[in-house]
Amino acid sequence: MRRGHRQLRTGDDQKTSGNIPDPETPGQVNERGVIDYALYVDGIRQAGERPFTDLHAEAQSTPGGFVWIGLHEPSPALLSDIARTFELHPLAVEDALSRQQRPKLERYEDVTFLVIRAAGYVEHAEITASSDIIHTGEVRLFVGEHFVVTVRQGSVGELASVRSDLEAHPELLAGGPWAVVHAVFDRMVDVYVEITAAMQADVDAMESQVFERTAGASIEHIYQLKRELMEFKQATLPLQRPLAMILDGRTVRLSKELRRYFRDVADHHTRVVDQVLAYDDLLNTVVQARLAQVTVDQNNDMRKIAAWAAIAAMQTAIAGIYGMNFTFMPELQWRYGYPAILTVMLTSAVVLYRYLRRAGWL
């Protein structure tokens, strides 16, 4: 089979094809990297067994038509075939195959390349020094006039449900490739909102533990939560610029209605950013508070040690004086001198103990 003409199936045919699996489900990925693809005309999925090159040609000649290809960790060969068909820029293809890309939007002639970070929250009973709370992945999108290619990297951020939701609402899907981009962004940001709500409970629990009488949270636990928050922060904050570029009216041409939907996504994202920054500031305060508690505890320990050392020093001083064995010393010849000195030592110890305890040193 010639490169650039891989036989992919659409519609119901993919369920019986040996080349394409059932539509994407979490944990079930086609080994070739193709999850699903189809031609849509006025928001309606078109059935039929055709190469994606033919579908692209048909989309270009059909008003309201576009192709949506969904990939998961595709091989370089597969993405190269798609890149030749849809005339994708080599730099964008290279970025789509690489790991750890920042959220961004770049224009390559008539094709827009976007990166958005996907995130997932890991349920846990408690936070430990090695808790894994946030998982992240990436979704890269190539958007043209008559096509959109979504490339997912990582185990989070599945898009099968996004496709299903859009196919159930053809009036939204009729908006074309940028309607798909909006749906992807909207889903990712909605997950951000859910994660911030879950992390609110984690931050509140950590704060409560720090200020408990027993101070159950250690510096290691707080640092681990802050580290996971930083990973989430790196996924969410950089998305501000791509959203601003989409809404500026110069970088991307959108209908008024679609721009309104993106504005709603941007509003939700702004609230997420505000919450993440607030959590970051709060955890910084919690860290400082815990460090202050550690310092106070150390000072208390040192005062207790010093207090007991003072009590012991008084007894040592008295015993040391009478241990010099001089010939002329007070009460050496007194019958009750020994018990008297012990009484003085005990009394001085009790008086000093009570004084130090009243002063808060013991």
Q: What does the pLDDT look like over 17-74, one tens digit per residue? A: 333 333 344 333 344 788 888 999 999 998 877 888 888 899 898 898 999 999 998 8
Mean pLDDT of the chain: 81
Over residues 1-27, the mean pLDDT reads 35
pLDDT digits (tens, 9 = 90+) for 209-267: 777 666 556 777 888 888 888 999 999 999 999 999 999 888 888 888 999 999 999 99
Same domain, 187 and 241: yes
Same domain, 306 and 288: no
pLDDT of residue 4: 36
Domain boundaries, position 118: 11-293
Structural domains of the chain, count: 2
pLDDT: which is higher, 303 or 309: 309
pLDDT over 80 (residue 361): no
Q: Among 293, 318, 340, give the residue marking a domain's end.
A: 293
Q: Are 217 and 204 in contact (CB under 8 A)?
A: no
Same domain, 318 and 287: no
Q: In whole angstroms, give the CA distance from residue 267 to residue 172.
A: 20
Share of the chain above pLDDT 90, in %: 36
pLDDT digits (tens, 9 = 90+) for 228-237: 889 999 999 9
Same domain, 272 and 335: no
Among 137, 135, 132, 122, CA closest to 29: 137
Q: Answer yes or no: pTM beyond 0.85.
A: no
pLDDT of residue 97: 87
Q: Among 272, 293, 314, give the residue marking a domain's end.
A: 293
Same domain, 274 and 328: no
pLDDT of residue 268: 95
Read off the CATH number of the domain in which 227 is found: 3.30.460.20
Helix (H) or strand (E) holding 112: strand 111-121
Q: In whole angstroms, give the CA distance from residue 43 to residue 345.
A: 96
Same domain, 229 and 316: no
Residue 178 in domain: yes
pLDDT: which is higher, 19 or 131: 131
Same domain, 78 and 208: yes
Same domain, 279 and 307: no
Q: Which pairs with CB-CB distance under 8 Å and at least 24 residues apart come from 5-8?
A: 5/51, 5/53, 6/51, 6/52, 6/78, 6/81, 7/49, 7/51, 8/34, 8/37, 8/51, 8/52
pLDDT of residue 272: 94
Residue 3 in domain: no
Residues whose CB falls within 8 Å of the CB of residue 240, separated by 6 or more in sequence, listed in order: 269, 270, 273
Same domain, 110 and 162: yes
Same domain, 338 and 197: no
Residue 230 in domain: yes
Over residues 100-123, the mean pLDDT reads 90
Rg (CA), the chain: 35
pLDDT over 70 (residue 280): yes
Mapped onto helix, strand or coil, the DSSP state of residue 250 is coil
Same domain, 228 and 318: no
Q: Are 37 and 83 in contact (CB under 8 A)?
A: no
Same domain, 333 and 214: no
Q: Among 293, 310, 331, give the residue marking a domain's end.
A: 293
